[in-house]
């Protein structure tokens, strides 16, 4: 029984591993060999594929674009949300409760990209990096607030009370007591948003028509369209695009898995 279950589980894991392995192996093959995709090792390892891809796929530029959107967007979210979360969770007046429900409404709400385009044009933010960051902040605020709100609820109110007795005012309470206690959840939210923005594809598709500002996802999609019959190059491009998130995943595993479950399992 135990052996059988182990075999089944390993087969399932392979189903999740093999697609990535195929892409990885084919990224080292020459054009002829990669024409039929198989799991065989490459007969000769062609490392130039990666060089070609980096040059023709504009990968360096788009890597830095993605990096900028992800870092700036996530920082903005963390800043806005930690202040909002602390205030909304601590001071539960009628209006604050309303604001909280108003904001987390966005977890389920679909975004209307057609009219958002109109807003972007009116505010002259279309095709700008600033505009991208603001949209990402708006989209990701709801779920981030939801996570941080629950977290603040778990911090004992006695800590605040002690600080106020010691003569701490509201602003200092937030900066000296609130933020330090929120650091772990802020890291989680930062990492989750970083990956979300890094992986996003819809927003630049709608709001960026200047390829200089494209993130990696859009660059690789475009590359795929042009080189669709050169699987070795396509695979190399995909490999290079996946690599940064996989590295981040291995490094920040704890925060990612923890944050993912925090969103759904109420403790």
Partner 1 sequence: MGAVIVFTVFFFLPGVMGLFYSFTNWNSMSDEVKFVGLKNIMKLFSGKYHFDQYIFNTVKFTVLTMVTKTVVGILLALLLTSSLIRLRSVQRMIIFSPQVMSFLIVGLVFKSLLNPATGFVNNALRDAGLGFLAQNWLSDAKLALYSVIAVDTWKGVGYLMIIVIAGINGISESYYEAAKIDGAGFWQRTWSITLPLLRPVIINVSVLNLTYGLRVFDIIYSLTNGGPGHATEVINTAVYSEFSKGNYAMGTTLSSTLFIFVMLISYFLLKAMEPKENTL
Q: Give the Cα separation of 171 and 155 in Å (integer).
A: 18
Tokens of 75: 């920082």
In contact, 191 and 255? CB cutoff 8 Å = yes
Given the complex with partner 1, which of 79 and 159 has the nearer CB atom?
Answer: 79
Q: Give the Cα separation of 21 and 14 in Å (integer).
A: 10
Tokens of 145: 């607030």
- Which residues, 102 to 161, sit near partner 1 by CB under 8 A? 102-103, 105-119, 123, 134-135, 137-139, 141-142, 145
CB 186, min distance to partner 1, A: 14
Residue 30: Cβ within 10 Å count: 15
Given the complex with partner 1, which of 19 and 159 has the nearer CB atom?
Answer: 19
Given the complex with partner 1, which of 161 and 211 has the nearer CB atom?
Answer: 211
CB 45, min distance to partner 1, A: 19
Give the interface segment with partner 1, choosing from 47-55, 152-160, 167-175, 220-228 (CB under 8 A). 220-228
Kindly state the number of chain residues that form the binding site for partner 1, as judged by CB under 8 A: 86
Give the interface segment with partner 1, choosing from 42-50, 149-157, 163-171, 194-202 (CB under 8 A). 194-202
**In 3-state terms, what secondary structure has residue 28?**
coil
Q: Is 170 in the site for partner 1 (CB under 8 A)?
A: no
Length of the chain: 267
Given the complex with partner 1, which of 158 and 267 has the nearer CB atom?
Answer: 267
Among 99, 163, 174, 187, the residue binding partner 1 under the rule CB under 8 A is: 99
Given the complex with partner 1, which of 32 and 165 has the nearer CB atom?
Answer: 32
Q: Give the Cα separation of 88 and 145 in Å (integer).
A: 10
Q: Give the Cα separation of 252 and 179 in Å (integer).
A: 21
How many Å is the Cα radius of gyration of the chain?
23
Given the complex with partner 1, which of 118 and 161 has the nearer CB atom?
Answer: 118
Q: Show the CA angle centred on residue 159, arms to residues 156 and 164, nearest 5°.
A: 135
Q: Is 198 in the site for partner 1 (CB under 8 A)?
A: yes
- Which residues, 29 to 88, sit near partner 1 by CB under 8 A? 35-39, 79-81, 83-84, 87
Given the complex with partner 1, which of 177 and 192 has the nearer CB atom?
Answer: 192
Give the interface segment with partner 1, choosing from 43-51, 151-159, 173-181, 214-222 (CB under 8 A). 214-222
CB 165, min distance to partner 1, A: 27
Q: Is 246 in the site for partner 1 (CB under 8 A)?
A: yes
DSSP summary character for residue 173: I
Residue 180, Cβ density class (10 Å: 0-12 exposed, 13-18 middle, ≥19 buried) = exposed
Residue (of 36, 40, 13, 35) closest to 25 by Cα position: 40
């Amino acid at each position: 029984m135990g052996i059988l279950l182990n075999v089944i589980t390993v087969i399932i894991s392979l189903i999740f591993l093999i697609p990535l392995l195929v892409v990885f192996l084919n990224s080292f093959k020459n054009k002829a060999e990669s024409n039929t995709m198989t799991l065989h090792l490459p007969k000769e390892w062609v490392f130039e594929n990666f060089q070609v891809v980096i040059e023709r796929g504009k990968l360096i530029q788009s890597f830095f674009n993605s990096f900028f959107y992800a870092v700036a967007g996530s920082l903005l979210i963390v800043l806005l949300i930690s202040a909002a979360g602390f205030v909304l969770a601590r001071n539960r007046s009628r209006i604050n409760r309303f604001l909280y429900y108003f904001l987390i409404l966005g977890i389920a709400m679909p975004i209307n990209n057609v009219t958002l385009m109109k807003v972007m044009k009116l505010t002259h933010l279309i095709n700008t990096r600033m505009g991208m960051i603001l949209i990402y902040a708006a989209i990701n605020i709801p779920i981030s607030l939801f996570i941080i709100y629950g977290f603040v609820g778990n911090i004992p109110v006695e800590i605040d009370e002690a600080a106020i007795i010691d003569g701490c005012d509201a602003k200092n309470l937030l900066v000296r007591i609130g933020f330090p206690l929120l650091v772990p959840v802020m890291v989680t939210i930062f990492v989750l948003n970083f990956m979300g923005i890094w992986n996003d594809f819809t927003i630049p598709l709608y709001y960026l028509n200047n390829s200089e500002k494209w993130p990696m996802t859009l660059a690789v999609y475009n590359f795929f369209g042009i080189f669709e019959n050169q699987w070795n190059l396509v695979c190399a491009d995909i490999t290079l695009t996946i690599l940064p998130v996989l590295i981040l995943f291995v490094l920040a595993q704890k925060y990612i898995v923890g944050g993912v479950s925090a969103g759904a399992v109420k403790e």
